[in-house]
């Protein structure tokens, strides 16, 4: 989902504890970004995730029944699936 771009900049003011600000500043510095740029990017990314998680799909009863059958059938074991299930998520490394 693309960020909405406008020509007019507006202020967003928030209060933070010193430890929170310092943590944000440390991360922003590591990325070579300003505090504002870092916070806006992180906030927009989170907002997009929230909105995408709220997606609603509507299907007729027949299609939904077929979908439920697919969900209830386990995938056949394959080498590719075994490798995938053994792979750690990026945040677990």
With 0.85 as the threshold, say if the pTM is over it.
Answer: no
Residue in 40, 35, 42, 31 with CA at minimum distance from that of residue 9: 40
| Predicted confidence (pLDDT) at residue 1 exceeds the cutoff of 60 | no
| Predicted confidence (pLDDT) at residue 93 exceeds the cutoff of 70 | no
Highest mean pLDDT among 23-32, 48-57, 64-73: 23-32
Note the pLDDT tens digit of each residue in 6-25. Answer: 678 899 999 999 999 999 99
- Reported confidence tier of residue 92, pLDDT bands at 50, 70, 90: confident
69 CA to centre of own chain: 28
- Given phi > 0 = left and psi -120 to 50 = alpha, else beta, which region is 4? beta
Looking at every residue in the chain, the average pLDDT score rounds to: 89
- Reported confidence tier of residue 44, pLDDT bands at 50, 70, 90: very high
């Amino acid at each position: 989902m693309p960020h909405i771009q406008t020509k007019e900049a507006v202020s967003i003011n928030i209060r933070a504890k010193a430890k929170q600000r310092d943590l944000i500043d440390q991360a922003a510095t590591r990325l070579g970004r300003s505090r504002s740029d870092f916070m806006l990017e992180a906030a927009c990314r989170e907002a997009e995730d929230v909105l995408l998680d709220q997606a609603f799909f509507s299907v007729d009863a027949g299609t939904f029944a077929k979908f439920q059958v697919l969900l209830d059938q386990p995938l056949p074991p394959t080498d590719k699936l075994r490798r995938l299930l053994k792979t750690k998520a990026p945040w677990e490394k």
